[in-house]
Amino acid sequence: METYLPISFLNDFIFCPYSLYLHQVFDNSSEELYSAAPQQVGKRHHDAIDRQRKQEKSPNVLRGIYVLSERLGIYGKIDSYYPAEQRLVESKYAITTLYKGYYYQLWAQYFALQEMGYRVAQLAFFSIKDRKTHPIALPDAAAFAELQQHIRKIAHYDFEQEFVANPAKCLHCIYASLCDKTNTDHVYA
């Protein structure tokens, strides 16, 4: 049976590879148990917007649909796709920096949508908090190869190898209070 990586792992792995392992371990727990306050606030805003959007169903936008790429071996949900403009948008609660992991997530959604027969001509991030749109260029062949390389790295990562935690990241990690790699608790505890 084929296995596919969740698109969300592409960004989480860059933040900290070990967080993927902890995500698997605590996946069945209530997120409230380990989430830090900012993540909970962000998620609540995101959920509220999702609920509002579901009530305002529009034929002009596809929201929250599942996408899958056999070429890349990934699956996940997109945020918003506007067929008329062939525009794909990923929303985040508060964008201050466009991290590489954000690009990998949107690139993966883009390639998956294309593979499923949707045309995408524009890509953008949307920052919910300040309502700012951040357009980005479409990924080319080099970007596809880079993304494929990143996915392979995650797929072959050995979670039992020696691992040195980065305390600066642990300080802002939702798993810090449960992680066996650090004694640092997150700043929101």
Q: Which residues bind ligand SF4 (CB under 6 A)?
A: 16, 18-19, 22, 165, 169-170, 173, 175-176, 179, 181-182
Beta bridge partners of 92: 127
22 vs 108, beta carbon nearer ligand SF4: 22
| Sequence letter at residue 78 | I
Q: How far apart, in whole angstroms, are the C-alpha atoms of residue 173 and residue 34?
A: 10
42 vs 73, beta carbon nearer ligand SF4: 42
Report, in Å, the least distance between residue 90 CB and ligand SF4.
Answer: 23
7 vs 170, beta carbon nearer ligand SF4: 170
Q: How far apart, in whole angstroms, are the C-alpha atoms of residue 140 and residue 103?
A: 12
Report, in Å, the least distance between residue 131 CB and ligand SF4.
Answer: 30
Q: What are phi and psi of 88, to 5 degrees?
A: -110, 130
Report, in Å, the least distance between residue 31 CB and ligand SF4.
Answer: 15
DSSP state letters, 13-37: HHH-HHHHHHHHHHTTS-GGGT--H
11 vs 109, beta carbon nearer ligand SF4: 11
Report, in Å, the least distance between residue 169 CB and ligand SF4.
Answer: 4
Q: 40: exposed, middle or buried (C-beta count within 10 Å: 0-12, 13-18, 19+)?
A: middle
26 vs 93, beta carbon nearer ligand SF4: 26
Report, in Å, the least distance between residue 41 CB and ligand SF4.
Answer: 19
Q: What are phi and psi of 76, to 5 degrees?
A: 170, -170
